Amino acid sequence: MKAQESTTEKVSFFDNPKNIKIMMIVFYVLCALLVLLDFVVHRHIYLDFEKIPTFYALYGFVACVVLVVLAKLMRKVVMRDENYYRDRDDLIGTESKDEEHQS
Amino acid sequence: MIDYAIPAFLPFFVAAAIALIIPHKFRFALILVPIVNGILLYTSGLNTANISWQLHNFDIQIMDVDKLSLMFAYLFHIACAICLIYAMHLKDKLQLVSGLTYAGSAIGAVFSGDFITLFIFWELLAVTSAFLIFARKTTAAQNAGIRYLIIQILSGVALLIAAIMHFNDIGSYDIDFVGLGTTASYLFLFAFGVKAAFPFLHTWLTDAYPEATPVGTVFLSAFTTKVAIYMLARTFPGEDLLVYIGAAMTCFPIFYAVIENDLRKVLAYSLINQLGFMVCGIGIGTALALNGAVAHAFNDVIFKGLLFMTMGAVLTRVGHVNGSDLGGLYKTMPKTTVFCIVGAASISAFPLFSGFISKSMVMAAMIEAGHEYLWLMLLFASAGVFHHAGIKIPFFAFFAHDSGMRPKEAPTNMLIAMGIASGLCIAFGSYPWLVYHLLPWDNVYQPYDVTHVLTQLQLLFFSALAFVWLNKQGLYPPELRSVNLDSEWLYRKVLPATGGVLHNAMAFSLHMSKRTFLLFKSLVPKMHINEGANAATLTYRMVIGFVILAVIAFITEIM
């Protein structure tokens, strides 16, 4: 997300759909620019893979989609109830916050 | 200029002892310990005295100074100072004392010149750090702490056995290049591998770190694993096996990180992922790769510490760090949010942030060494780490859907600690020479060139684009309250279950043999007290006795 520049601004900034939209447009434009730059700038090539135009952009996108899809599939195998190992006594709402004594 | 000539861990142990008795309001003075000690050590540099104590005919090399050990010692001083500032709001002395001794043990370990001294500090690391987990005072934390302690002590025992076997092989306890080959060397690799969270040995980390106190996790993330990395860099540089182990370590945790709900556990998995880059660097073993590994360890302590600090702040204020129940916290915790984003940018290796340079050193070394496909794995992991640590952590904690929670901003001391760590992340990323002139091996690396900045930005922006796209399509896995099975399943489910089955089987067979015995006993005619001796009964019993003896004699004869 392009949240880096804007987090210090007003509190309700991210609740305004208009702002989100502007941010997303800026983000898309930046992505497009990076792709265009790939054809302008002469990259140093060390490996065969890198000869593919916009290799890094493609790889980044595909890697993340593959990662998420595989992780979702993995959930079917490894996901269990949160009390699977034993009943937890510190689930939400039951843990007393005063354990970290505030001075 | 005075040369530093005391064991460097001593001030920490002394300070811990003093911390026990001084009134709580003087605790701020403790911060001075790592700062002053660190500055003294830094100004002394390579002139720092080597110290060894003669114990009968054995030399305990308590201070063995070179560039590598100094680098890690500086790092641990910085980390300890930041952790202490972060812990200043606590009234709980236990955490301060164990934190100080823990940091001291880590510093002792990196300066040890022989395996026996190392073993002592190795075990001290385990024992002192366990209290940072116990201090959470929940049942889950107690249990996780015990499991943590068992595994850590196991690693220490393996180290001791390996050291003795190694002594039998080469006749010296000195810490030097070992290299794989002998049984002792594999035991060393196991001992270090446990602490460095090698695959299948890593579950103590993901089990215990999320259960420790907010302050405890920050301490824990800094020391244990980095001491292991340091030892690997000393004893197994250039060992090919480590490249493959490292590559596996970068990849498998990110899948868990994507589906994990507890955000501190997400960070624990991403810690293993970062360790993978270091292990890869050590495995390649060129000057560039080793420098990259060490530099990455240096940066990782700070940015991973920073991320754990921001999550610790959330945990302190909200009481949990479950992604499924957080969101919208930026409204009331804006500073923590900014610090978290700085940490996220550093771990994702954005240009101008600290991770960028050290990670690219390892990647470049990977290409030089000709591991093209492993390089692709590391690139996959780099995209993945941005995905889960760079986006998921800040997004689900501070943005996403509004959870309605309006916690207070983190305590001032926490903000100061996070501010310092953020400053360091940006400083080390923007002015690399600050760290890189300290690196032990001679090598010149130019991180900022157009190609590199462009390709890295492409990789990161398009990973972010994938996140946006997946979210819009509704494909992104929702945060669910759950437990994900990992190799700990073997010792938390299979082993107890097998033990249970065995126990039941034993109990059953014992019961059955008792029954059989009683059955046969009832066949023997009874003779009551005060009853006249009955010749028939007596004869009968004697016959049974003779038969048994005959059977035994027969069996012994044929055997």
Copy the structure tokens of residue B217: 């996790």
What's the pLDDT score for residue B529? 67
pLDDT for residue A8 is more than 70: no
What's the pLDDT score for residue A6? 47
Q: Tell if the CB–CB gap between B466 and A60 is shorter than 8 Å.
A: yes
Mean pLDDT value across residues B70-87? 95
Range in B129-143, B255-269, B388-402, B423-437 with the lowest mean pLDDT = B388-402
Mean pLDDT value across residues B346-352? 92
> How does pLDDT run across B162-185, given as a tens digit for each residue?
999 999 999 889 999 998 989 999
Please give the residue of chain B at the shortest CA–CA distance from A24.
B468
* Three-state DSSP class for residue B529: coil
Q: Tell if the CB–CB gap between A47 and B450 is shorter than 8 Å.
A: no
Q: Are residues A7 and A33 in the same domain?
A: yes
For the whole model, what pTM was predicted? 0.89
Sign of CA dihedral B130, B136, B138, B144: negative
Q: Does B455 touch chain A (CB under 8 A)?
A: yes
Copy the structure tokens of residue B524: 């023997």
Q: Does A36 touch chain B (CB under 8 A)?
A: no
Q: Which residue has the higher pLDDT, B538 or B125?
A: B125
Sign of CA dihedral B91, B93, B96, B102: negative
pLDDT for residue A2 is more than 70: no
Q: How confident is the model at residue B306 (pLDDT cuts 50, 70, 90)?
A: very high
pLDDT for residue B367 is more than 60: yes
Instruction: Spell out where B1-57 has E strands.
Output: 51-55
Q: How far apart are CA B236 and CA B285, in angstroms?
A: 9
Distance (Å) from the alpha carbon of A18 to chain B's nearest alpha carbon: 16
The 3 state secondary structure assigned to B197-231 is CCCCCCHHHHHHHHHCCHHHHHHHHHCHHHHHHHH
Q: Are residues A27 and A12 in the same domain?
A: yes
Q: How confident is the model at residue A12 (pLDDT cuts 50, 70, 90)?
A: low
Residues of B in contact with A79 (CB under 8 A): 259, 480, 482-485
Range in A84-88, B206-210, B228-232 with the lowest mean pLDDT = A84-88
Of the candidates B255, B320, B379, the beta carbon closest to that of A59 is on B379
Single-letter code of the amino acid located at B308:
F
Distance (Å) from the alpha carbon of B463 to chain A's nearest alpha carbon: 5
Q: Are residues A51 and A28 in the same domain?
A: no
Name residues whose C-beta falls within 8 Å of residue B385's C-beta, 6 or more positions apart in sequence. B254, B270, B273, B274, B347, B348
Domain carrying residue A18: 1-41
Complex ipTM above 0.90? no
Q: How many domains does chain A have?
A: 2
| Residue of B254, B454, B461 to mutate when probing chain A, most A C-beta within 10 A | B461
pLDDT for residue A98 is more than 60: no
Q: How far apart are CA B113 and CA B108, in angstroms?
A: 10
> How does pLDDT run across B96-110, given as a tens digit for each residue?
999 999 999 999 999
- Given a contact cutoff of 8 angstroms between Cβ atoms, the answer to whether B361 and B445 are in contact is yes
What's the pLDDT score for residue B323? 85
What's the pLDDT score for residue A20? 85
Go through A15-31 and write b for each residue having 16 or more CB atoms within 10 A of its CB, e for each that does not: eeeeeeeebeeebeeeb
Residues of B in contact with A23 (CB under 8 A): none
pLDDT for residue B360 is more than 80: yes
Average pLDDT for chain B: 91
**Residue of B230, B233, B228 lying closest to B205 (CA atoms):** B228
Backbone angles phi, psi at B262, to 5 degrees: -70, 115
pLDDT for residue A96 is more than 50: no
Q: How far apart are CA A64 and CA B464, in angstroms?
A: 9
Mean pLDDT value across residues A51-73? 89
What's the pLDDT score for residue B535? 77
Please give the residue of chain A at the shortest CA–CA distance from B350.
A4
Q: Are residues A26 and A60 in the same domain?
A: no
Q: Does A47 touch chain B (CB under 8 A)?
A: yes
pLDDT for residue A16 is more than 80: no
- Cα–Cα distances in Å, from B222 out to B20, B160, B270, B506? 23, 24, 14, 46
What's the pLDDT score for residue B1? 61
Name residues whose C-beta falls within 8 Å of residue B225's C-beta, 6 or more positions apart in sequence. B195, B196, B197, B205, B271, B275
Q: Tell if the CB–CB gap between A30 and B461 is shorter than 8 Å.
A: yes
Cβ pairs bridging A and B (under 8 Å): 203
pLDDT for residue A3 is more than 50: no
- Cα–Cα distances in Å, from B262 out to B206, B396, B559? 10, 11, 63
In a domain, A95, yes or no: no
What spatial distance separates the first Cα and last Cα of chain A, rounded to whole Å? Answer: 36
Q: Are residues A34 and A59 in the same domain?
A: no
Residues of B in contact with A62 (CB under 8 A): 466
Q: Are residues A50 and A25 in the same domain?
A: no
Of the candidates B259, B384, B468, the beta carbon closest to that of A74 is on B259
Q: Tell if the CB–CB gap between B470 and A37 is shorter than 8 Å.
A: no
Q: What whole-number percentage of chain B has pLDDT above 90? A: 65
> How does pLDDT run across B457-485, given as a tens digit for each residue?
999 999 999 999 998 888 888 888 888 88
| Residue of B147, B455, B487 to mutate when probing chain A, most A C-beta within 10 A | B455
| Residue of A25, A56, A66 to mutate when probing chain B, most B C-beta within 10 A | A56
